[in-house]
A and B are shown apart, each in its own frame.
Chain A
Amino acid sequence: MYGKGLRPLSIASAAALGTAIGLVFFYAPLDADQGFIQKIFYIHVPLAIVTLGGFIAGGLMGIKYLRTGDRSWDMRSYVAIHLSIVLAVAVLITGAIWAKASWGHWWVWDEPTLVSFLIIFLLYCCYQPLRFSIEDPDRQARYAAVFAIIAGAFVPLNFVAVRLAQSFSHPRVLSTTGGNMPGSMRLTFYVSLLAIALLYVTLWKLELTSKNASIQLKRLRVRLEGVLEEQHSAAGAPAPPVGTVPASPRDS
């Protein structure tokens, strides 16, 4: 019931990923300056865009939770942010590899996108420690939503601040806006972006399904235990002493 649409979604993302990989290796031209290593662009940049989109979506779902009080929105927001944190690690690693290959350093401070990404990653790394150090589940959901909203608002602000801090004399090696990309590169980039976005949605839905299934399983198990206990006491087990409270509230 929860996994509805998961199968077509998985097939679509697998097909899109396959197409994207095919386009990257056989269709897109080699970059004149950077050669083969430039192809990491087709995974690095879509991953970064999807990760940031996931963070902002997590914030929007947090707003939705605070407005409706519906716990399933909290769950959605949690899974979105959690997945984005995992993908952010991949973004930082692919970014470092690209930087090493094209500029000779594992890390370059004058690449504003990379730097802002690191700051945002550091901030979101606190999401889980914050969330799981609050015991009351209701408060946990509320505080996590507040964090998601603050951090979501911080993402664009931080980008502005870091970009302003760069001197504009530094040449932008590759403009991601597509202004100077040939058509075949742009097509490959958009297909890759679509593939990664589909992959993100599939993973998000999969984790949500698994979480919901385990919650339901737990609920069923508790109910089963209640039924068994009831049968047990009906079958002539020693009755609890008069005046004591029943062990489980479900005994009534």
Chain B
Amino acid sequence: MIGTAWTILRKDLQIELRTKESVPAMALFSVTVFVLFHFGLQRNELEGDLAAGVLWVTLILATVLAVNRLFVTEREQGGIDGLLLAPIDRTSVFIAKAGALFLYLVLLELVAVPAFGILLLGPDLFKPLPTLILLLLLADVGLAAVGALVSALAVETRARDLIVPLLLLPLLVPVAIAGAQATEPLFSGNQAAHELGKWVGLLGLYDMVFLLVSIAVFDFLLED
């Protein structure tokens, strides 16, 4: 199963490498949103809760772009028929798609977080970086699981581009809560009130619940 998943994942990465469809768009989008926030909030530098909020909301909005595209190539080029005809476990398709989304998100953050540090963040980015990386990776697992599921759910509908954000954003509210709350003390230097464990626990719970639910229901989305 892991072998098949790896094959599909490699195919997706190769397509992304050649078409450069998702990741550059996400990176560009996130930098644009930072500029928008600069004017919208009328601040040159952000710190504390504002900084945490802007970073997490931007990352979550950028996720929507990738989720919109995740199954589209399969659908438009008929690749989904090939996947359905192949004698493989459907779960491996989910793992591959979620894995691809996870990698896109990591690549996005490699661009967006430094850009955020340069453009908007007031305090130093390097000191809280290890904790921030841990939080981002944990959140990416949840974003990838929910994103792959929503993408598969929406790709068969007529109004795909409308369904994805409407469905995805409420589902991602717990990630926004945990991410922003855990990041706020990192950007304000107020380490005393830090409850990192609570938020890491919440992100872990979120990842686990949605990974299990996704694996349980994904088969029914690809059944024809």
Q: Is the CB of B156 within 8 A of A149?
A: no
- Given the interface pairs A133-B163, A149-B213, the reply to whether A143 lies near B174 with Cβ below 8 Å is no
Q: Is the CB of A157 within 8 A of B206?
A: yes
Q: Is the CB of B202 within 8 A of A129?
A: no
Is A37's beta carbon under 8 Å from chain B? Answer: no
- Chain B residues contacting A119 (CB-CB under 8 Å) are 170, 173
* Beta-carbon contacts under 8 Å, A138-160 to B: 139, 142-143, 145-147, 149-150, 153-154, 157-158, 160
Q: Which of B159, B177, B220, B221 contacts A162 (CB under 8 A)?
A: B177
Q: Is the CB of B221 within 8 A of A143?
A: yes
Q: Is the CB of A142 within 8 A of B174?
A: no
Q: Which of B167, B171, B177 contacts A165 (CB under 8 A)?
A: B177
B60 to chain A, nearest CB (A): 14
- Chain A residues contacting B156 (CB-CB under 8 Å) are 134, 139, 143
Q: Is the CB of B220 within 8 A of A150?
A: no
* Beta-carbon contacts under 8 Å, B153-187 to A: 153-154, 156-159, 162-163, 166-167, 170-171, 173-174, 177-178, 181
- Chain A residues contacting B174 (CB-CB under 8 Å) are 157-158, 160-162
Task: Count residues of A near B (Cβ-Cβ below 8 Å).
Answer: 29
Interface centre among B173, B178, B216 (most CB of A within 10 A): B173
Is A130's beta carbon under 8 Å from chain B? Answer: yes
Q: Which of A125, A130, A145, A154 contacts B220 (CB under 8 A)?
A: A145
Q: Which of B153, B158, B177 contacts A147 (CB under 8 A)?
A: B153
CA distance A162 to B177 in the complex (A): 7
- Chain B residues contacting A122 (CB-CB under 8 Å) are 170
Name A's interface SS. helix
A151 to chain B, nearest CB (A): 8
Q: Is the CB of A150 within 8 A of B149?
A: yes
Q: Is the CB of B154 within 8 A of A130?
A: yes
* Beta-carbon contacts under 8 Å, B178-224 to A: 178, 181, 198-199, 202, 205-206, 209-210, 213, 216-217, 220-221, 223-224
- Given the interface pairs A119-B173, A133-B159, A160-B202, the reply to whether A126 lies near B221 with Cβ below 8 Å is no
Q: How many A-B residue pairs have CB under 8 A?
A: 84
- Chain B residues contacting A145 (CB-CB under 8 Å) are 220
CA distance A135 to B156 in the complex (A): 9
Is A99's beta carbon under 8 Å from chain B? Answer: no
- Chain B residues contacting A162 (CB-CB under 8 Å) are 173-174, 177
Q: Is the CB of A157 within 8 A of B209?
A: yes
CA distance A121 to B154 in the complex (A): 19
CA distance A130 to B153 in the complex (A): 9
- Chain A residues contacting B223 (CB-CB under 8 Å) are 142
Residue of A nearest to B159 (CB): A133
- Chain A residues contacting B213 (CB-CB under 8 Å) are 149-150, 153
Q: Is the CB of A164 within 8 A of B170?
A: no
A159 to chain B, nearest CB (A): 10
A-B contacts, 22 listed (Cβ < 8 Å)? A123-B170, A126-B163, A126-B166, A129-B162, A129-B166, A130-B153, A130-B167, A133-B157, A133-B163, A134-B156, A142-B221, A143-B156, A143-B157, A146-B153, A150-B149, A153-B213, A157-B174, A161-B173, A161-B177, A161-B202, A162-B177, A164-B178
A-B residue pairs, 7 tightest by C-beta: A161-B174, A123-B170, A133-B157, A133-B158, A122-B170, A126-B166, A146-B217
